[in-house]
Amino acid sequence: MTFRAPDPATAEVAPPVRPGRPEIVAGLLAFTAAGAVAVLFGRLGLDPVVYGLVLAAWSGLAALVGFAVAVLVRIRSLSAFGVRRTTWRWMLVGAGVGVIALVLKGLVNYAVIALTGLDSDPQGMYYDAAGGGVLPLILTMLFLAVLTPIGEEFLFRGVLANALLRYGPVVGVLGSSVVFALFHGVNIVLPSALVVGLAAAEVMRRSGSIWPAVAVHSVNNLALPLLVFFTGTAGPG
**According to the model, what pLDDT value does residue 196 have?**
97
- Distance, in Å, from the CA atom of 183 to the CA atom of 231, rounded to the nearest integer, reads 29
- Distance, in Å, from the CA atom of 208 to the CA atom of 83, rounded to the nearest integer, reads 9
- Distance, in Å, from the CA atom of 123 to the CA atom of 143, rounded to the nearest integer, reads 14
**According to the model, what pLDDT value does residue 115 have?**
86
Residue extents of the structural domains in the chain: 21-231
> Which residues have a Cβ under 8 Å from the Cβ of 118 and sit 6 or more positions away?
112, 187, 188
Q: What is the pLDDT of residues 101-136, one digit of tens each?
A: 999 999 998 898 888 877 777 778 898 888 889 999
Q: What is the pLDDT of residues 128-178, one digit of tens each?
A: 888 889 999 999 999 999 999 999 999 999 999 999 999 999 999 999 999
Higher pLDDT, 216 or 232: 216
- What band does 8 get if pLDDT is binned at 50, 70 and 90? very low
Distances (CA, A) of 173 to 18, 28, 100, 126, 158: 15, 17, 17, 28, 12
Other residues' Cβ atoms within 10 Å of the Cβ of residue 167: 10
Higher pLDDT, 6 or 41: 41
3-state secondary structure of 158: helix
Residue 5 has pLDDT above 50, yes or no: no
Distances (CA, A) of 189 to 118, 148, 158, 181: 11, 15, 22, 8
